[in-house]
Amino acid sequence: MPSTALILAAGLGTRMRSRLPKALHPIAGRPMVQHLLGAATQVFDRAVVVVGPDMPGLEAAVAPHATVVQAERLGTGHAALQAAGLLDGGDGDVAVLYADNPLITVDTLRRLVAARAQAGLALVAMRPANPGQYGRVITNAAGDVERIVEWADATEAEREVGLCNAGVVCAPASELFALLRQVRADNAKGEYYLTDIVALAVAAGRRVVAVESPEAELRGINSRAELAGAEAEAQQAMRAAAMAGGATLIQPESVVLSWDTALGQDVTIGPNVVFGPGVTVEDGVEIRAFSHLEGCVVKSGAVIGPFARLRPGTLVGEAAHVGNFVELKAAVLGRGAKANHLSYLGDATIGAGANIGAGTITCNYDGVNKHRTVIGAGAFIGSDSALVAPVTIGDRALVAAGSVVVEDVPADAMAIARGRQVNKPGRGFKGKPAR
């Protein structure tokens, strides 16, 4: 039977003080629930997500995975039970996971499944530096789980136990839902707690085992501060992976990566560089300080920045240069082409070896539609030129500085498109001379 990751994502995130469902708050540029789905779908055959009512954005974010709605938020046990109609009656394993616990790793999930194969039910536990008010996992001499005791109900001796419950459980579908139907809401909150199935399983004579994992990957995220902590953990792990893969981060703690940032070998990244989602950087690229990249590809040997911005749809060719205060959007900069200063190149194709002078603008938007500018190989665009799209500048053409180009320029031609200079004698400035 297929195994299933059942992800509980109906939480509103009240402590977040946000209109956005908690599961959609991003870590490293990716919603929490998508982080969890990315790991879970490497281990389980399918995923089902429990959402709250009126969460179309969340349903869209988890598509094409199946969703079920928890109309009333009556606790984690109640949330998991909403999937009974889809999953009950099968023998495949079901692991109940939490969208606000997004950093759990593929390794931990695989160990959870392997442990479940040796027992009736398996859970994930941790040994946090500060156990605080976590529920304690009480084991017997053989190491099997006897019960989970909540901190408020624990004796002093039980509170000294360092092994804490992370809430994740795995069991055969038929057993899981049979246990969930026995859970009662006889607690201070009047909620149905998923963790109550552990005591019920033990009472029924089923063996329960715990898989231990680091606290960093099991942290719950219920507030903006906890979200920031998870972001810091994720960034630290991604920076370490980037450097292990052959990239140099001159000031690692200042570099912000995205979940899918792909860096080649011998890439050098200066301080305060930010990567949004969808960036691929090939071997031997230098990205200088304070640059921002998103949704772009940088080919080998290119130099970016400092203070450059590469927006989605941009391709920077091999050995090309993008300099300070240059912005590219949906632009292709050919091999060896240069745009070194203070330019905006939007919806543009720029040929190999072309030189773009300081202050050049591709005027791509007419107030209604976007239009494309094509600049040929080896063309030279003089400083402070405005290219009004749609327009084509031919190979090896030269556009004189200060031109406003509204018509195509043939290959090998020079275009001068500016008002003629007129000098008026005696009409200079009449103000008081500077002292």
Whether 341 is catalytic is: yes
The Cα–Cα gap between 63 and 69 comes to 14
**386: which strand partners?**
361, 404
Q: Please classify residue 426 by burial: count the beta carbons closer than 10 Å to its beta carbon, then call 0-12 exposed, 13-18 middle and 19+ buried.
A: exposed
- State how beta strands 309-310 and 292-293 pair: parallel
Catalytic residue among 35, 292, 321, 341: 341
| Three-state secondary-structure class, residue 229 | helix
Angle (nearest 5°) at CA 357 between 354 and 359: 140
Active site residues: 341
